[in-house]
Amino acid sequence: MMPQKKVDNSSYTTSIDIKAGMLKQLCWYAVNILFFKNSWITSSRLKVFLLKSFGATAGTGIVIKPCVNIKYPWKLAIGDHCWIGEAVWIDNLAEVTIGNHVCISQGAFLLTGNHNYKKTSFDLMLGSITLEDGVWIGAKAVVCPGVVCASHSILSVASVAVSSLEPYSIYKGNPCIKINERIIE
């Protein structure tokens, strides 16, 4: 067996363009804790107003349940009539685009960053996420960096999307596989 190199986290550096100054970030962290992650605040209109105030693009008829965590609203676009369930985490180090009539169920995780396990420096890798119109992300499901969930696709409960989903298709598992077509009556 050949000698293996080891990960050296002390050599880790990041060059993420957060697209916001430190004051804006700190203000957002406070707002996120007080109004989004808080289980007592239930007003979706207030949350949408706050998202827009921090640079998000947001349509009409959006429902945002309690205990939602959003990393950077200025890297978020949400279409019309979307539902974001309790304890959803949008970890958007890169852009996240959510189309119209999208449902993101309880505890789902949109993850735009990962690490390169092949590098000793464990470099951060980013990839945007797009949820096209009519997509449903099931409870506790994970959407990984670079994934596009095409129009009206479904990622079922506790499934993990590591690659893009086809339109009008249903996916299940870790990593998810296509199990059926989505037929809307």
> Where do the domains of the chain lie?
44-181
Nearest CA among 101, 96, 107, 98 for reference residue 82: 101
Q: Which residue(s) pair with 83 in the sheet?
A: 63, 103
Token match 């993850």: residue? 111
C-alpha angle 128-94-117 in degrees, rounded to nearest 5: 80
C-alpha angle 94-95-101 in degrees, rounded to nearest 5: 140
What was the pLDDT predicted at 121? Answer: 87
Phi, psi of 148 (to 5 degrees): -115, 120
Q: Which amino acid is at 30?
A: A
pTM: 0.96
Residues 6+ apart with CB under 8 A from 172: 156, 159, 179
Q: What is the pLDDT along the chain (185 residues), one digit of tens a residue?
A: 777 888 888 888 777 889 999 999 999 999 999 999 999 999 999 999 999 999 999 999 999 999 999 999 999 999 999 999 999 999 999 999 999 999 999 999 999 999 998 988 888 999 999 999 999 999 999 999 999 999 999 999 999 999 999 999 999 999 999 999 999 99
- Cβ–Cβ under 8 Å, residues 98 and 77: yes
Question: Does CATH place domain 44-181 in 3.40.50.300?
Answer: no
Q: Which amino acid is at 85?
A: G
